[in-house]
Chain A
Amino acid sequence: MLQAVITGLLLGGLYALIGVGLSLIFGIVKITNIAHGDLMIVATFFIMVILNHLIGNIYIALLITIVVMAIIGFLIQKFLINKVIDQGAETAMLVMFGLSIAIKNALTLIFGAGNNALPSPVKGTNFIKTDLVSISGQYAVNFIVAVVLIVGLSILMDKTPLGRSIRAASSDTMAAELMGINTKTMYVWAMAITMAATAVAGMLVGQTYSFFPYTGTQFLIIAFGVVVIGGMGSIFGTLVGGAILGLAQMIAAYLLGTAYQTLAGYIILLILLTVRPQGLLSKRMRK
């Protein structure tokens, strides 16, 4: 049981990092990025390609991918979402749905439908191993990186002038424009930052699980769970949401068997939706 709790919490860190991008974009741009999972897997594949054909060092590959993903985020927001966002969130969501399908098919075309894996410097190592519990190196790394990155994002949003302007744009678009803030440029920044963080999530996912072009959907659902439990738009909420989802899955797997793992996640999600539909740490209720 202790093992399940610890694994669940650690898993929750990774889940939180996957969810934080979805949460940020929902909170700032007010759209549900259906392509979030797929974009993350694009980063995973991108790292794989760099490793196979360019540079063997995964950290350098990650750095390149972070930059590339930020640029992709910039382009998506500037040339896709910003063009349609004035027509309402539904239109933007449909555009992202289209992008999601396009990404899956493009990845399948290039890489085939088979499984892939990223190498990891900590693969097969144990962070802690005692008779009572063991923590794999990968899970420990996932958790630490996720928490550091989420805290960093939170500081960026709360304490810096850029974060302040982004928050102003999301909290009251008209007022922000009247202050001289180009709100659409702020959305572009937000998407670029989000995609940079998503690149890191993509690497960790690729090191932890095997992945293929359609994996993104799986992680979109996890991200949804995290964000719905933690509260849409709340950065720290994703940590809580991730932890709850991870715990639910691991405890269910321990008590009922791994077959119930995914189901347990959904049940927790349903219960929370009934009891507290705005999420546990939602900053503001939707009007």
Chain B
Amino acid sequence: MIEKEKLLEVKGLDVFYGDLQAVKEVNMEVKKGEMVALIGANGVGKSTILQAIMGLNKPKSGSVIWKGQDITGIQTNKIARLGLTMTPEGSHIFEDMSVYENLLLGAYPKHAKARRAESLALVYKTFPVLKEKEKQTATFLSGGQRQMLAIARAMMANPELIICDEISLGLAPVIIKDIYASLHEINKNGVSFLLVEQETKRALKHSDYAYVIVHGEVVLEGRSSALSEEQIAQVYFGVEQSGEGGAD
């Protein structure tokens, strides 16, 4: 099998909040076309890793490499123009703007602006509901629609990698299913994903490769199909758990 091109590499990443070490010696990578999951309980540093990748916090040591280029510590807006983008936790759509304006802002980078019409057509094909709500102010969207808009806005940047922080948080299972289905659809067009997900089962189901994070460290990694929930529960709690499967 031919080795796929590495898009993103994280090497020896350490992030501190004051004296508190939130992320410890994290190594990970995302290859072209892959869906990679970061699994871990609340507050173990998953989001901190994503933020470090996007330049939203400054790592103390270690590096973030995007397609061979060291992007550690450069400004978020510059990183976002390189072909990777993120849907932050809680969607962070532009509340007082219309759905359409949100999408236009997604295509802010020059290379994305040039392909704006095509991206928009693709977005509306993937999320028809956004076409219907085009003129509506974003703040009036439902929880699921907000996440769809956040993903759609990321698609408008014509990215090679979309990083999704907790996109299923607080959504109904049926909507989560829809959203993951659209992620796979987007993935089929060659876009890689780095997903943060608390639900172990869901994370394994929807990824090719997974990293399990406990207390800011990668304690387990492997092909998602080769990892079992029991294995992960075991490293979570340090003890063997029996008969306690995750929800849905």
Which residues of A are interface residues toward B (Cβ below 8 A)?
A: 161, 164-165, 167-168, 171-172, 174-183, 283-284
> Measured between alpha carbons, how far is A218 from B44 in the docked complex, in Å?
54
Residue ID in chain B nearest A167 by CB atoms:
B97
**A181 with B94: CB separation less than 8 A:** no
Which residues of B are interface residues toward A (Cβ below 8 A)?
A: 54, 56, 75-78, 80-81, 85-86, 88, 92-97, 101, 104-106, 108-109, 112, 153, 157
**A175 with B88: CB separation less than 8 A:** yes
CB distance from B141 to the nearest CB of A (A): 15
Residue ID in chain A nearest B153 by CB atoms:
A179
* A180-B94 contact, Cβ under 8 Å, with A164-B104, A165-B105: no
> Measured between alpha carbons, how far is A167 from B101 in the docked complex, in Å?
11
**B77 with A180: CB separation less than 8 A:** yes
* A182-B75 contact, Cβ under 8 Å, with A171-B97, A175-B88: yes
> Measured between alpha carbons, how far is A181 from B153 in the docked complex, in Å?
13
Contacts of A175 in B (CB 8 A): 88, 92-94
Contacts of A176 in B (CB 8 A): 77, 105
**B88 with A168: CB separation less than 8 A:** no
Candidate in B92, B101, B105, B106 with the most chain A CB atoms within 10 angstroms: B105
The 6 closest A-B pairs by CB, nearest first: A177-B76, A175-B92, A180-B80, A180-B109, A180-B81, A182-B77
Contacts of B86 in A (CB 8 A): 178
> Measured between alpha carbons, how far is A175 from B106 in the docked complex, in Å?
10
> Measured between alpha carbons, how far is A182 from B157 in the docked complex, in Å?
15
Residue ID in chain B nearest A186 by CB atoms:
B77
Of A167, A171, A181, which is within 8 A of B108 by CB? Answer: A181
Candidate in A168, A172, A175, A180 with the most chain B CB atoms within 10 angstroms: A180
**B105 with A168: CB separation less than 8 A:** yes
Contacts of B85 in A (CB 8 A): 178-179
**B97 with A174: CB separation less than 8 A:** no
* A interface majority secondary structure: helix
**B88 with A178: CB separation less than 8 A:** yes
* A172-B92 contact, Cβ under 8 Å, with A165-B105, A177-B75: yes
* B interface majority secondary structure: loop
Contacts of A177 in B (CB 8 A): 56, 75-77, 80
Of A161, A183, A284, which is within 8 A of B96 by CB? Answer: A284
Candidate in B76, B92, B104, B153 with the most chain A CB atoms within 10 angstroms: B76
**A168 with B96: CB separation less than 8 A:** no
Contacts of B97 in A (CB 8 A): 164, 167-168, 171
Residue ID in chain A nearest B106 by CB atoms:
A179
Contacts of B108 in A (CB 8 A): 165, 179-181
> Measured between alpha carbons, how far is A179 from B78 in the docked complex, in Å?
9
Contacts of B96 in A (CB 8 A): 167, 171, 283-284
Can you list 12 A-B contacts (CB < 8 A)?
A: A164-B105, A165-B108, A167-B96, A171-B96, A172-B94, A172-B95, A174-B56, A174-B92, A176-B105, A179-B77, A181-B105, A181-B108
> Measured between alpha carbons, how far is A176 from B109 in the docked complex, in Å?
11
Residue ID in chain A nearest B110 by CB atoms:
A180
Contacts of B101 in A (CB 8 A): 164
Contacts of B80 in A (CB 8 A): 177-180
Candidate in A174, A178, A283 with the most chain B CB atoms within 10 angstroms: A178
CB distance from B242 to the nearest CB of A (A): 42
15 extra interface residue pairs, beta carbon distance < 8 Å, beyond A164-B104, A167-B97, A283-B96? A161-B104, A165-B108, A168-B105, A171-B96, A174-B56, A175-B93, A176-B77, A177-B75, A178-B54, A180-B77, A180-B78, A180-B80, A180-B81, A180-B108, A181-B105
CB distance from B160 to the nearest CB of A (A): 14
> Measured between alpha carbons, how far is A176 from B104 in the docked complex, in Å?
12
> Measured between alpha carbons, how far is A206 from B222 in the docked complex, in Å?
72
Residue ID in chain A nearest B87 by CB atoms:
A178
CB distance from B81 to the nearest CB of A (A): 4
> Measured between alpha carbons, how far is A178 from B76 in the docked complex, in Å?
6
> Measured between alpha carbons, how far is A174 from B80 in the docked complex, in Å?
11
> Measured between alpha carbons, how far is A283 from B76 in the docked complex, in Å?
28
**A179 with B105: CB separation less than 8 A:** yes
> Measured between alpha carbons, how far is A185 from B54 in the docked complex, in Å?
19
Contacts of B109 in A (CB 8 A): 179-180
> Measured between alpha carbons, how far is A164 from B153 in the docked complex, in Å?
15
Contacts of B88 in A (CB 8 A): 174-175, 178
Residue ID in chain B nearest A284 by CB atoms:
B96
Candidate in A171, A177, A183, A284 with the most chain B CB atoms within 10 angstroms: A177
> Measured between alpha carbons, how far is A207 from B211 in the docked complex, in Å?
69
> Measured between alpha carbons, how far is A187 from B56 in the docked complex, in Å?
19
Contacts of B112 in A (CB 8 A): 180
Residue ID in chain A nearest B154 by CB atoms:
A178
CB distance from A244 to the nearest CB of B (A): 24
Of B54, B56, B94, B157, which is within 8 A of A168 by CB? Answer: B94
* A171-B94 contact, Cβ under 8 Å, with A177-B77, A178-B54, A179-B153: yes
